[in-house]
Structure 1
Amino acid sequence: MRRVRAALALLRTVLVCAALLLLASCGWGGTGGDGDGHAPGAPAGVTAAAGSATSVHVMWDAVTASPSIRTYEVYRGTTKVKEVSASEHMVDVIRLRPATMYSFTVRARDTDGRLGPPSREVRARTPVAVADDHSAPTRPRTPQGRVIGSRAVQLSWGGSKDDRGVVSYDIYQGGAKIHSVGGAQTATVVTGLRPSTRYSFTVRARDAADNLSPASTAVPLTTAPGSDDGRGTAPTDFRATTHRGKDGAYYIDLSWVPPRTDGVVTEYQVQLDGQPATSLVWGGTAPRDHATYSFYTGREAGVGHRVRLRARLPDGTWGGFSAERTVTTGETTP
């Protein structure tokens, strides 16, 4: 009789566990979403730069996830200081202390409410406050712009003057501030725009006391149609060679200059013979001026390959492909 009761108890346990597994697989009683139970990844390309003696501008690359991202949360140390929608990937953290070092991280939350891990920590020091500074910088001079695709434009301007020094420049699209760069920078690339759309950009200078200059003259630009090849956002100076490794296998060696963007490009896609071959994701500090990568292609000599690559831009979209190069294993590439 004891054996019968034990068997019945075991059967009940098995049935309960099976029911719980069925509920979980259907997405009932759990965290919801697509059923994979995975939170979004940590934002990459996070940077921080002082905007004034009391503010810091924080930027990051858009996170691509399924389900999609709903919001980003920005933390100063362990304190959440900002929450913005998924369409934004930059914020100004204000009401800070002058001459102080701050650390920031960013986390993504998806449409199912799952909060991803924090990004790598970045730091920025606010400059010393200047007492009784009521003089704003001069207006940025002779702003210019050019369209570099259906979703990006490049802006440049002449530097402003200030009796205490310019700390940052703010870029406006219409009446909305969309970005900020350091006071030593007089050019920027704006991505995440819509194809065949007319925009108007202005620039304003800011000093350490938060005095804001008058707006520059407007730069009207119309992005290219959506069918363009994105050449303006493609990696440049792309080169490909081959070598034979110590293991006797052949490898393709790539080098390129990353596309110029305001954020940090942390991900690339390599296309081999017309098909995606591999993705590169920098987990640490991504290269800004020159990048290299090598990958395995087999053990047979005399095999020709076509190779090119493209970058995922900070707004989460793919940029244009680089020029395509042809290499042959076992041959010296000029």
Structure 2
Amino acid sequence: MRRTPHPVALLAVTAATLTACTWGSDQDAKDVQPPAAPRGVTVQAGSATTAHVMWNQATDDTGVTGYDVYRGATRVKRVPSRTHMVDVVGLKPSTTYTFTVRARDAEGNVGPAGRKLTVTTPAAATADREPPSRPGSARGTVEGSRAVKLSWGASKDDQGIASYEIYQGTSKIHSVAGSERETLLTGLRPGTDYRFTVKALDAADNASPASRTVRLTTAAGQDDGRGTAPTDFRAKTRHADGAYYIDLAWTPPHTGGAVAEYQIHLDGKTATSLVFGGTAPRKKATHSFYVGKEPGDTHRVKLRAKLPDGTWGGYSAERTVTTG
């Protein structure tokens, strides 16, 4: 029998709570260690007056009890530890905002801020009361035991689409820009039935009717995350200026947004991190890195992408190359 999941904050990965070793210590000593910074912080303008902020669970030696969401230096939301996403309302149209998230524990220790992100709200639509049309052709595919990919047809609106909202049952779990037509949802449970719908939102906060329900069941057991891995991965060596380089080429995973960071593994170890500045490639990506001056050296290379939720995706296929 399939398990029916509780609504989950997708694009949030559960991390194990770390328990401090208390060998020979005073059990009643006051906790002064603050939680770690939340990872995987993302922000998306929902409309001209709202923004959707999401993050991954932070860790603490005694356990995180809640999160504080800041707009600039002002705390605008305080939520319990089970919540990893909020909608910030009351914003101004055509305005740029900066958001951060901090974790807190039972002793009131507040951790450092996670990644600082900015978002610009769209312009307001004058006297707009007409909701967008229903998103069409909603469909999905299972990407292993812990991820699914959703796609949908564009909605229409006389003032334009500001964002698309993803629902699991009646719970909103994710939001993407109005220009996107697909998204990758991670952090799911293996062997579990899920029901997803998509709604379009315009700049005036008018919501469309829900798309048709997409029913998906994640694969049982564990997997290597191949559904979130770069594809068409190729590697070859090149000789230039007395040294050898490995040239890489791949297709980024389809996540519903650009993937800007990758981790390259060489001969079983992390060799380097690659971060694309500016606009990250979405169809084909390439990179070249130095490996030495000796001919005849054989290397194994693979890479993985950092997903929009801040977690690492699955590894690409591994390629073997020989210098010279």
Task: Tell whether the structures are fold-level matches, with TM greater than 0.5.
Answer: yes
> For residues 281 and 92 of structure 1, do their structure 2 counterparts lie closer, same or farther at Cα, with a shift above 3 Å needed?
farther
Which amino acid counterpart does residue 316 of structure 2 have in structure 1?
Answer: S
User: Is the 1:130–1:208 contact (alpha carbons within 8 Å) kept by the matching residues of 2?
Assistant: no
User: Residue 233 of structure 1 is aligned with which of 228, 252, 261?
Assistant: 228
User: Residue 130 of structure 2 is aligned with which of 135, 138, 144?
Assistant: 135
User: Is the 2:47–2:121 contact (alpha carbons within 8 Å) kept by the matching residues of 1?
Assistant: no
Q: How many Å apart are 1:26 and its aligned residue?
A: 5.4
Where 2:314 maps in the other structure, the secondary structure is coil
Matched, 1:122 2:115: no
What count of residue pairs does the alignment treat as equivalent? Answer: 299
1:254 corresponding residue in structure 2: 248
1:305 corresponding residue in structure 2: 299
Matched, 1:223 2:218: yes
User: Residue 40 of structure 1 is aligned with which of 20, 23, 36?
Assistant: 36
1:178 corresponding residue in structure 2: 173
Where 1:206 maps in the other structure, the secondary structure is strand
* Stretch of structure 1 that moved more, 172-181 or 88-97: 88-97
1:196 corresponding residue in structure 2: 191
- CA distance in 2 between counterparts of 1:116 and 1:251 reads 39
Where 1:52 maps in the other structure, the secondary structure is coil
> For residues 129 and 286 of structure 1, do their structure 2 counterparts lie closer, same or farther at Cα, with a shift above 3 Å needed?
closer
Q: How many Å apart are 1:167 and its aligned residue?
A: 1.8
> What stretches of structure 2 of length at least 5 have no aligned partner?
1-21
User: Is the 1:64–1:316 contact (alpha carbons within 8 Å) kept by the matching residues of 2?
Assistant: no
- CA distance in 2 between counterparts of 1:72 and 1:282 reads 28
- CA distance in 1 between counterparts of 2:274 and 2:104 reads 21
User: Residue 320 of structure 1 is aligned with which of 303, 311, 314?
Assistant: 314
1:94 corresponding residue in structure 2: 89
Output the aligned Cα RMSD.
3.5
> For residues 276 and 71 of structure 1, do their structure 2 counterparts lie closer, same or farther at Cα, with a shift above 3 Å needed?
farther
* Stretch of structure 1 that moved more, 220-229 or 170-179: 220-229
Q: How many Å apart are 1:97 and its aligned residue?
A: 2.3
Matched, 1:156 2:151: yes
Identity of aligned residues (%): 54
- CA distance in 1 between counterparts of 2:230 and 2:277 reads 20
Q: How many Å apart are 1:41 and its aligned residue?
A: 4.7
- CA distance in 2 between counterparts of 1:314 and 1:197 reads 23
After superposition, residues 272-311 of structure 1 pair within 5 angstroms as 272-273=266-267, 275-278=268-271, 280=273, 282=275, 287-289=280-282, 291-295=285-289, 297-311=291-305
- CA distance in 2 between counterparts of 1:265 and 1:71 reads 29
> For residues 162 and 38 of structure 1, do their structure 2 counterparts lie closer, same or farther at Cα, with a shift above 3 Å needed?
closer
**CA displacement 1:231-288 (0-9 Å, x = unmatched):** 2100123222334575x65443434333222466565443333x23335274966835
2:18 corresponding residue in structure 1: none
> For residues 43 and 109 of structure 1, do their structure 2 counterparts lie closer, same or farther at Cα, with a shift above 3 Å needed?
farther
> What stretches of structure 1 of length at least 5 have no aligned partner?
1-22
- CA distance in 1 between counterparts of 2:249 and 2:157 reads 41
> For residues 316 and 27 of structure 1, do their structure 2 counterparts lie closer, same or farther at Cα, with a shift above 3 Å needed?
farther
> For residues 244 and 109 of structure 1, do their structure 2 counterparts lie closer, same or farther at Cα, with a shift above 3 Å needed?
farther
Q: How many Å apart are 1:80 and its aligned residue?
A: 1.5
User: Is the 1:99–1:125 contact (alpha carbons within 8 Å) kept by the matching residues of 2?
Assistant: yes
Where 1:49 maps in the other structure, the secondary structure is strand
- CA distance in 2 between counterparts of 1:85 and 1:291 reads 40
User: Is the 2:122–2:162 contact (alpha carbons within 8 Å) kept by the matching residues of 1?
Assistant: no
* Stretch of structure 1 that moved more, 87-96 or 209-218: 87-96
Which amino acid counterpart does residue 311 of structure 1 have in structure 2?
Answer: A
User: Residue 48 of structure 2 is aligned with which of 47, 53, 61?
Assistant: 53
> For residues 315 and 99 of structure 1, do their structure 2 counterparts lie closer, same or farther at Cα, with a shift above 3 Å needed?
closer
- CA distance in 1 between counterparts of 2:202 and 2:228 reads 31
User: Is the 2:265–2:272 contact (alpha carbons within 8 Å) kept by the matching residues of 1?
Assistant: no
- CA distance in 2 between counterparts of 1:160 and 1:194 reads 30
